[in-house]
Structure 1
Amino acid sequence: MLQEIEILGIVVFALSGIAEAQRKRMDLVGCYAVAFMTAFGGGTLRDLLLDRTPLFWVEHQEYAILVLVLTVLALLFPAFTRIPERWLVLPDALGLGLFSVAGAAYAQAAGTSLFVAAIMGVITGVFGGVIRDVVCNEIPYVFRNTHWYATCAFLGCLLYLVLDAAGVAAAIALPLAVAGITLLRLAALRYNCRLPGGEV
């Protein structure tokens, strides 16, 4: 189940990277590079910090091939990725949940503490988007004074880790945590939940 969650997260984040690269009018190489960094940036940093080798996308070359296929298809059929930004809210929230929980689970398996595992989950879910925004010459979304984003990932990762510590089966704890992050992110957008600071 953890690998299936990881694959879904890769697909969602790769598509968000492709969409952003297309808005910047990049070619195939540019779109693939941005999609690659968006899909694998957070997991790569997680693996480096946890000293996990080989890196998850090196171990599973099919992940990188999948992103390439998605990129080619997106360029052949651009209408499928040129969609209004408001329609990307749900896929983005779902991708955040998928990657964050997967990252926390991998960190937990590596023997980290509960707090560190939750932080690793946030890094996995957020850092790919940071790289995407920097490469596309944007202020990283997670660093702007916007609605809860990393906060949702952190709380959802804690939920998974607490459920796991309580003996709840992974088949239940993982989907619950993903759903928790996704719903919390959507609620933050709906009810304008923001962290203090950043206003002038």
Structure 2
Amino acid sequence: MFPTVIKLLPFIEAIGIIAFCVSGFISAQQRKFDAIGVFIIGFVTAFGGGTLRDILLDRRPFYWVQHQNYVIAIFVCSLIAGTIMDFMHRVLPRRAMLIADAMGLGLFTITSTALALDAGMPVFVASMLGVIGAAFGGVIRDILCGDTPLLLTDSRPYASCAFAGAWVYIILQKIEMNDIFSLIISSGLIVVLRLASIRFKWKVPASF
């Protein structure tokens, strides 16, 4: 039902893995972790959400088991993470980091939603699995770093952007829009919503 998105999965998830891995490296470096700590935090940030998604969908082998080159690359980069981070901070502005993270959020949300729909999940469950696949690597990262997950404490929309994008993708699939256009529109919406929430300081209303 979703052949184009599934075929593009390795390319799409590679972008998301890089974006989330960098955010994991930044968190680990801020806490002065050693190389092994940097590797663990980078790994769980990049693969944690996707692994949880695969467990819930009963997909085997896990994505990082199938593509161990990513794991090896993260391990090698963790050994020189300090140099990499210094270089990135000099070459790339903070805005570029935010854009990369937003792209990871958008792409992981849509691929996870597509995989859930392809597995026959109900649409609401598929949308939630989209959010889990995109956001829960960061939750695991924060827990391992000894912090309350940012997803639960940051009032700026994050998971809600992913949730909205997942539903746009589901609706576009229901009306049988072209797979590529569905992917671009829904993931693009997530990126725009996330960056707009940062730029305009949008807040999610408190429940009480």
What is the TM-score normalised by the length of structure 1?
Answer: 0.92
Is 1:15 aligned to 2:44, yes or no? no
Match of 2:71 in 1: 64
2:106, 2:165 within 8 Å by CA — same for their partners in 1? yes
Whether the 8 Å contact between 2:77 and 2:84 is mirrored in structure 1 is: no
Q: Counterpart of 2:110?
A: 101
* 1:81-120 correspondence to structure 2 within 5 Å: 81-82=88-89, 88-120=97-129
User: What are the equivalent positions in structure 2 for 1:146-185 lying under 5 Å apart?
Assistant: 146-185=155-194
Amino acid at match of 1:154: F
What is the alpha-carbon distance in structure 2 between the residues aligned to residue 135 and residue 71 of structure 1? 16
Q: Distance in 2 between matches of 1:58 and 1:120?
A: 20
How far has the Cα of 1:50 moved from its partner?
0.8
Partner of 2:50: 43
Shift of 1:82: 4.9
Whole-angstrom CA distance in 2 between matches of 1:166 and 1:66: 40
Alpha-carbon distance, 1:28 to partner: 0.9
- Over aligned residues, Cα RMSD in angstroms? 1.9
Amino acid in structure 2 at the alignment position of 1:175: I
The structural deviation recorded for 1:198 is 6.9
Deviation, structure 1 residue 64: 1.3
CA contact (8 A) 1:103 1:120 kept: yes
Q: Which amino acid aligns with 1:59?
A: Q
Alignment gaps of 5+ in structure 1: none
Q: Which runs of 5+ in 2 are unaligned?
A: 1-7
Q: Distance in 1 between matches of 2:27 and 2:207?
A: 25
Aligned match of 1:124 in 110, 123, 133?
133
Structure-1 residue corresponding to 2:87: 80
% of aligned pairs identical? 41
Following the alignment from structure 1 to structure 2, what is the Cα–Cα distance between the partners of residues 123 and 178?
15
Q: Distance in 2 between matches of 1:17 and 1:159?
A: 28
- The equivalent residue for 1:196 is 205
Checking the alignment, whether the CA contact within 8 Å between 1:42 and 1:123 is kept in structure 2 is yes
Report the Cα offset of residue 145 of structure 1.
4.2
Q: Which amino acid aligns with 1:12?
A: A
Q: Please, what TM-score do these two structures have when normalized by structure 2?
A: 0.88
CA gap of 1:145–1:60, structure 2 versus 1, over 3 A, is: closer
Task: Give the drift of 1:137.
Answer: 1.4
- Structure 2 residue 62 is the aligned partner of structure 1 residue 55: yes
Distance in 2, Cα, partners of 1:101 & 1:70: 27
Letter in 2 for 1:100: T
Give the distance between the partners of 2:76 and 2:112, measured in 1 at CA: 24
